Structure 1
Amino acid sequence: MKIALISDIHSNAQAFAAVLEHAQAQGVSDYALLGDFVGYGGDPAWVVDKVAELVARGAVAVMGNHDAAVVQGSSSTMREDARLAVEWTHSRLNPAQLEFLSKLPLSVTREDRLYVHANAFDPAGYEYIQGRLEAMRSLHATECRYTFCGHMHEPMLYHLSLTGKAGEFTPAEGVSIPLLPNRQWLTIPGSCGQPRDGNPAACYAIFDSAASELSFQRVAYDAEAAAAQIRAAGLPERLAARLLQGE
């Protein structure tokens, strides 16, 4: 079974639609949606409806910090751009869409796979996995062989051996990576709707559960149209500009 791992869509309908089309062409049969479906971007309603549609067909979806903020209200620690986007997003979603977001779980375990937005050690705290230290803490917090999470907007892969030896690397696009059975693995597929690694193409990954293989994907999309929606909504210009720069 090929599972598309999609995270941090951030109300970017153009990127999400392009990734879904690409995933279907790769033979994907299931989806894991790793949170932050809203915030920053200009089309939250379409994105939430599409996520809900996929969940109704069996996909996994977990709550991100922006999803929680749109339902519960922004926190004092949010940057001004993020806070303004959260408030605007809340005003654009109907009660059913807000209820869908409010009922998302913080994490989901299926077989030997853990799906969570930020990390396994404190899903509700939304602490970032910024490097090997946080990745190892997350891997030690679960017995699952595979952990898939988002929150960080750059693709990354970490592993932990049975002897406690840790490793990490930045994956190359489209290269199939065998996930060896004597290790635990933590995958961050990168952001679908707001990549921050200098490449504006949408990020996602494909996990082949039968072959225990992983590949990271990049998909070009109409970022100009996504930026235009942000500007039309009256949201901060920086949120539009960063889409075009991948930052």
Structure 2
Amino acid sequence: MRWALITDIHANRQALEAVLADARAQGCERYGLLGDYVGYGGDPAWVIDQVRELVAQGAVAVQGNHDSAVTQGALPTMREDARTAVSWTRDRLNPEQLRFLAELPLSRSEGECLFVHANAYDPEGYEYIQGRLEAMRSLQATRAHYTFCGHMHEPMLYHLSGTGKAGDFRPVAGVEIPLLSHRQWLAIPGSCGQPRDGNPAACYAVFDSERGLLSFQRVPYDVEGAAASILASGLPEPVAQRLASRLARGE
């Protein structure tokens, strides 16, 4: 089974369209959707409808902190531009779309895989996995052989051996990585809709569960179109300008 692992779409229609097309070309049969479908971008309703359609076709989907903020209110730690985008998004979703976001689980297990937005040790707290220490804590909190999470907008791979030795790896796009069976693994695909590693190309990952292979992908997309959608969205102009300009810089 080939999985497409997609996270942090952030209402970026152009990025999601490009990633879904690439995933189909890669022969992906299932989708693991790791949260933050809304926030920042100009097309939240369209993105949610695409996610709902994928779920109806068998995709696994979990809730992210921006999804929670839209339906339950923002956490105190959320930045001002993000709060503004959350408020704007809430006013543009219909009751069915809001209900879909509100009812998403914080985590989901399937076979040897755990799907969660931020981490396995406190999914509702949305703490970031910023390095090996947090990754090890997350891996120790689950029996899952493979943990897939988002929240961090940069691709990263961590592993934990049976003796408790942890390691990390910054992946190269398009290179298949064998996930050795004697280790636990935690993969962060990077953001589909708002990469923050200086490369504006959309991120996602492909996981071959039968062969135990993982590859991180970068997909160019219409960044100018995504920025134009934000600028035309009705968000306050200074916020829209900042959010739109970040896309081209990959930050």
TM-score range relative to shorter protein:
over 0.9
Q: Which residue of 2 aligns with 1:156?
A: 156
Q: Which amino acid letter does the alignment assign opposite residue 139 of structure 1?
A: L
Q: Which residue of 1 aligns with 2:218?
A: 218
Unaligned residue ranges in structure 2 (runs of 5+): none
> What secondary structure, in the 3-state scheme, does the structure 2 residue paired with 1:159 have?
strand
Distance across 1 between alignment mates of 2:75 and 2:144 = 31
Counterparts of 1:85-234 in structure 2 under 5 Å? 85-234=85-234
Number of residue pairs the alignment of both structures matches: 247
Pairing 1:241–2:245 present: yes
Distance across 2 between alignment mates of 1:108 and 1:80 = 30
Please report how far the alpha carbon of residue 72 of structure 1 lies from its aligned counterpart in structure 2 after TM superposition: 1.1
- Which is further off, 72-81 or 135-144? 72-81
Unaligned residue ranges in structure 1 (runs of 5+): none
Contact 1:74 / 1:87 at 8 angstroms: preserved in 2? no
- Which is further off, 229-238 or 45-54? 229-238
Q: Which residue of 1 aligns with 2:67?
A: 67
Deviation sequence 1:130-171 (CA, Å, 0-9, x none) = 000000000000001000000000000000011111100100
> What secondary structure, in the 3-state scheme, does the structure 2 residue paired with 1:92 have?
coil
Please report how far the alpha carbon of residue 228 of structure 1 lies from its aligned counterpart in structure 2 after TM superposition: 0.6
Distance across 1 between alignment mates of 2:129 and 2:234 = 32
Q: Which amino acid letter does the alignment assign opposite residue 241 of structure 1?
A: S
Please report how far the alpha carbon of residue 78 of structure 1 lies from its aligned counterpart in structure 2 after TM superposition: 1.5
Please report how far the alpha carbon of residue 94 of structure 1 lies from its aligned counterpart in structure 2 after TM superposition: 0.3
Q: Which amino acid letter does the alignment assign opposite residue 245 of structure 1?
A: R
Provide TM-score, normalisation by structure 2: 0.98
> What secondary structure, in the 3-state scheme, does the structure 1 residue paired with 2:91 have?
helix
> What secondary structure, in the 3-state scheme, does the structure 1 residue paired with 2:71 have?
helix
Q: Which residue of 1 aligns with 2:14?
A: 14
Distance across 1 between alignment mates of 2:43 and 2:228 = 11
- Superposition RMSD in Å: 0.6
